């Protein structure tokens, strides 16, 4: 939802390339976050040490993938709007990080 809002604002400010850049920034964050979730969900751990190890490995994979995808967009997409790309990426990463602290209060 945040990516759509930021892409809409970027489209209004910087035309179609701003919207595409913001959408790509949010998509990079979402993809990296999904990799983190998939890597942590598929492991059945038995101890606190194993939980930490899995979390660190998943975070490293998330970070590597995010950097790789950002680099790919910045090198391939010639009309990228940096503010839209990075702004949407950062907001999406922050929202994903806050969701981890929200807990399950059902």
Is pLDDT of 38 > 70? yes
Residue 8's domain spans which residues?
A: 2-101
Query: Are the C-beta atoms of 31 and 19 separated by less than 8 Å?
Result: no
Q: What are the DSSP calls for 18-57, one per residue?
A: HHHHHHHHHHHHHHHHHHHHHHHHT----SHHHHHHHHHH
Average pLDDT, the chain: 90
**Residue 77 banded pLDDT, cuts 50, 70, 90:** very high
**Residue 103 banded pLDDT, cuts 50, 70, 90:** low
Does a structural domain hold residue 59? yes
Place of tokens 């920034």: 25
Count of structural domains, the chain: 1
The distance in angstroms from the start CA to the end CA of the chain is 22
Does a structural domain hold residue 106? no
Does a structural domain hold residue 54? yes
Token reading at 45:
């751990």
Does a structural domain hold residue 22? yes
- Residue 18: the pLDDT is 93
pLDDT, one tens digit per residue, over 2-29 is 889 989 998 899 899 999 999 999 999 9
Calpha distance 90→58 (Å, rounded):
19
């Amino acid at each position: 939802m945040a990516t759509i809002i930021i892409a809409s604002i970027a489209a209004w400010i910087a035309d179609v390339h701003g919207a595409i850049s913001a959408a790509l920034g949010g998509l990079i964050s979402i993809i990296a976050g999904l990799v983190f979730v998939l890597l942590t969900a598929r492991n059945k751990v038995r101890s606190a040490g194993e939980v930490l190890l899995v979390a660190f490995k998943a975070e490293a994979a998330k970070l590597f993938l995010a950097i790789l995808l950002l680099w790919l967009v910045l090198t391939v997409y010639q009309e990228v709007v940096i503010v839209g790309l990075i702004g949407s990426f950062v907001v999406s990463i922050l929202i994903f990080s806050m969701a981890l602290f929200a807990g399950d209060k059902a």
